[in-house]
Structure 1
Amino acid sequence: MASVDECRQALHDLAARLDANADRVRDRVDLDRTLACRITDLRTAFHGRLRDGRLLDLADGDDPKAKVALSTTSDDLLALVRGELDVPKALAARRISISANPFDLLKLRKLL
């Protein structure tokens, strides 16, 4: 099981990667939504905002009103960020769950 600090760092790494590619995806992903990332095995969460292909304002704690919510285990979060876990396969295997309205899910696919 990964630690809270490792999960936090993984999300910051993801944010940096998205930021580096934001100019390329900004036109394809018109999305401005609050995000919660819930780590089920650690009983912790992080929140931020997805805007223009970027992950901004990452902070500790849950956002129960988040428009997009990702739930997964700590190890699966790290594997996702490293590119070792395929998102569609992880969704099908119920290793992750993403809660969002259907139109947002279609937009999110472009980021995944």
Structure 2
Amino acid sequence: MATIEECRTALDQLSDNLAAADGDVRGAAALNRSLSCRITDLDTTFAGRLQDGRIEVLDTYAGPPREKAQIRLAMTGDDLVAMVGGELNFAKAWASGRVRLEAGFRDLLRLRTLL
């Protein structure tokens, strides 16, 4: 099972990957939205912002998200680490229910490029 530190490192790597992307992926990640990532098996939430193509984690706390972020992710720590490491395809994980992504309709349309 992935640790909180491994999950935080994975989110930092995901942020670096988004910042280095170009084309449609860069455009999709260029939102300015609040973001939460709930790690279900660790009962931990990372809260922050997706801004200018980067993820900025502002807070980490136990339990579910305290506020409803504009973009909400939920998954196990192992799935987060595997996705960022390229071992798990996000679209397949989302389609199978291993990863939950919730956002407004317009944001989902923009984020679909990341899938």
Q: TM-score, normalising length from structure 1?
A: 0.85
Question: Structure 1 vs Structure 2: percent identity of aligned residues?
Answer: 48
Contact kept in structure 1, 2:10 and 2:81, CA below 8 Å: yes
- Describe the SS at the equivalent of 1:15: helix
For structure 2, list consecutive stretches of 5 or more residues without a partner in the other structure.
none
Cα distance in 1 between the residues matched to 2:91 and 2:57:
26
Aligned length: 111
Q: TM-score, normalising length from structure 2?
A: 0.83
Q: 1:91 Cα shift?
A: 1.1
Q: Which residue of 95, 100, 112 corresponds with 1:97?
A: 100
Cα distance in 1 between the residues matched to 2:69 and 2:14:
19
For structure 1, list consecutive stretches of 5 or more residues without a partner in the other structure.
none
Aligned match of 2:77: 74
Q: 1:56 Cα shift?
A: 2.3
Larger displacement relative to structure 2 (46-55 or 4-13)? 46-55
Q: 1:63 Cα shift?
A: 4.7
* Residue 88 of structure 2 is aligned to residue 85 of structure 1: yes
State the Cα RMSD in Å: 2.0
Cα distance in 2 between the residues matched to 1:74 and 1:106:
26
Q: 1:45 Cα shift?
A: 0.9
Letter in 1 for 2:93: A
Q: 1:90 Cα shift?
A: 0.5
Cα distance in 1 between the residues matched to 2:23 and 2:95:
28
- Report Cα offsets for 1:20-56 as digits up to 9, x if no partner: 23x6558733521100000000000101211232212
Larger displacement relative to structure 2 (25-34 or 59-68)? 25-34
Q: 1:86 Cα shift?
A: 1.1
- Report Cα offsets for 1:50-96 as digits up to 9, x if no partner: 12322124431345221111000010011111121111111111100
